[in-house]
Structure 1
């Protein structure tokens, strides 16, 4: 396909898209486009992502504690020690 043909097809597509937009803006549009459920906000997605990360972290921590036979108390003491030495914030 040569450049002229590509340009012609692009213009046709652009014209069709512009016409569709104009049609959608009409108050009594003949198009019946379902809108679906509302899009989740960025805050909701970030909160959900954080919950997933938290869950994955907790599961991995529990697996490591079981693998190395460490109790919650010993892990808590380790974290307090590391924090007091400035290794974690």
Structure 2
């Protein structure tokens, strides 16, 4: 694509963007612009994923505790030991 073609496409895009902005500034715009669902922040998504991972971990841990008949106190000591040794975060 040569420079003239790139410049022409840029101008078309710039004109379309300017027209859209003018339409938005009108008091009673005739355009029906769909807004879609609210956008969630990346931090919210990461927090939700972290919470889901934690819930899955807790479910697996409880299942293993039941399967091997380990009391909560024993597992707590084991997890603290692993944390101290740097085996888990």
Corresponding residue of 2:85: 87
TM-score (norm 2): 0.65
TM-score (norm 1): 0.65
Distance 1:50 1:37 in 2: 22
Q: Does 1:78 align with 2:65?
A: no
- Which runs of at least 4 in structure 1 moved beyond 6 Å after TM superposition? none
Number of aligned pairs? 86
> How far is 1:64 from its partner?
5.2
> How far is 1:56 from its partner?
2.5
Deviations 1:26-45 (A, max 9, x none): 11111111223332355643
Deviations 1:33-86 (A, max 9, x none): 12233323556434422321212322443465577x351433123235x17x94
Unpaired runs of 5+ in structure 1?
none
Instruction: Please tell me the root mean square deviation across aligned C-alpha atoms, in Å.
Output: 3.1
Corresponding residue of 1:37: 37
Distance 2:3 2:41 in 1: 42
Q: Does 1:54 align with 2:54?
A: yes
Distance 2:17 2:59 in 1: 49
Distance 1:63 1:31 in 2: 55
